[in-house]
A and B are shown apart, each in its own frame.
Chain A
């Protein structure tokens, strides 16, 4: 069994309550940080841990914290990004539902480190029942003196606010989230200025993902170096992976970074292989936005070594041939999966969720969806395939926020690795347009 940091006590009955969480060692990180450490020392431990943002971008968390501007007399804010909306990703939902105090404890430790006296947890509105769980946990922590005025007699004050979103994937982008939190449409802001300088209400703000913030409790209790000793290379610590698709045992798993992808798919400890009678065709390893890889490439690197579940190994060879750990949304597809249909589905998602602010994204995502639709339903031509590549290229890197890239990569990578399947949809329109039609020929493994 691998090391568990976040899910160690997930099966303990009543762990969602303050008393049980406390009994299992909860809130000791708050006591340690507030009573024995300075905010700077807490930041230093997080830096030493090497933990990278678990929302998808993978930026070093301690470094992000150290960028926070600290002008005198201006409030600072910590905002937890709990707007988990990436298809394939459901680990934050799981964490908040089952062990909400882990996030609350992380919010207190992190807010103390950043000098924030009011912090926000922005939760996607669809998870209204999770919002109620969090609000209850906050009330419990407040009643026990871990939130509110003069926490544990330290003189430090913190108020936590849970903010419901309204149903918009773009609000997972940090600046769009801040706009939404200010009561506006969730349109991303131009950067710079970055939120660390001008964020919520134009004040210095750190935006971190649920899993990232929840990790800080263990780091403070055990030290940054102990955390850095787990994992592989610059991919330190553990990571929650949301596994879905054609696996025997989908679910949320905590892995030590560096586990071979093959083990994650086939070992009894995790997904236990592909459903009976079928074989792996492709994997989207880090949420719907990251490039899709055919089976052989997700299992092995270009040099034949095993590919690992780590930031570096998954992106080996660049985005064109490698993929990304992203948010850890691991979607496995067996040979019954139609790549064209799946790509159309994702393109439809990104078209629907584009905020419409940038022309390449607003127009391009709709264009890709339409072309993929006609290919899937047997009305496409060979030129359409190159047209898709061209449109994806024109979106990528040309938008204010990464939603453009997120829309372009699945399309570009699907065509790169499964071009024959797209061509089959053109050359066999009558067959391809039948429900459930799937190309089962040899796949290119460029």
Chain B
């Protein structure tokens, strides 16, 4: 186990939310709250650090390793710091049929980074994801909870310009 400092704590409103989440599950089954709590942690911290995972483990009274093995299994948890805007780009078949690869190449060129990298100003990170369940509206990417569909190079420019302000 990595020894970490107890530097992370949920804000009061998130702590209340975390307690409400834990109470949703039957007595003794609080480990079920793990994914929702990791989402809450990442929402607050921007990424899922070892310190944060240890904090969640203490909250659920489980071993830290139980959190690590879950956080590393799922793709949505950023195990390294990321930029302000994480662009989750769908690289899967139906989006590619609609020109997704060409638009993706343009996005990487426009930002000057590859998948998994963050722009030097810390504003954008590109992350490749598998199907975003919006295949009929591809190419598509997601930033936070916003879907951007029917992407073209021009549309990418508009979005990046807007978010760069």
Contacts and interface: CB of A to CB of B under 8 A. Distances in A.
B93 A345 contact: yes
A327 B31 CA distance: 31
Interface stretch (A238-246, A372-380, A393-401): A238-246
B131 A86 contact: yes
Interface string B28-44: 01011111101100000
B45 interface: no
A24 B95 CA distance: 35
A50 interface: no
Interface string B4-32: 00000000000000000000111001011
A84 interface: yes
B70 interface: yes
B97 A84 contact: no
Interface in A120-142: 124-129, 132
A166 B93 contact: no
A349 interface: yes
Interface in A318-353: 329, 331, 333, 337, 341-342, 345-346, 349, 352-353
A87 B26 contact: no
Contact of B136 (A184, A244, A337): A244
A342 B35 contact: no
Interface string B129-142: 11111111110001
Interface size class of B (residues with CB under 8 A): 35 or more
Given A166-B77, A185-B69, A88 B31 contact: no
A124 B90 CA distance: 15
A183 B93 contact: no
A201 interface: yes
Q: Which of B38, B69, B70, B135 has the most CB of A within 10 A?
A: B135
Contact of B76 (A89, A126, A244): A126
Contact of A183 (B32, B76, B94, B97): B32
A345 B92 CA distance: 7
Contact of A180 (B35, B130, B132): B35
Contacts of B66: 183-184
A251 interface: yes
Given A164-B39, A166-B77, A349 B131 contact: yes
Interface string B53-78: 00000001010001001100111110
Interface string A178-210: 001111111000000000000001000000000
22 contacts: A85-B130, A92-B133, A126-B132, A163-B36, A166-B77, A167-B74, A167-B77, A168-B75, A180-B35, A183-B34, A184-B70, A185-B70, A244-B94, A244-B97, A244-B135, A250-B135, A250-B137, A252-B136, A345-B91, A346-B93, A349-B92, A349-B131
> Which 9 pairs across A and B sit closest by C-beta, in order of nearness?
A166-B74, A183-B31, A250-B136, A167-B76, A183-B34, A244-B135, A167-B75, A129-B145, A185-B73
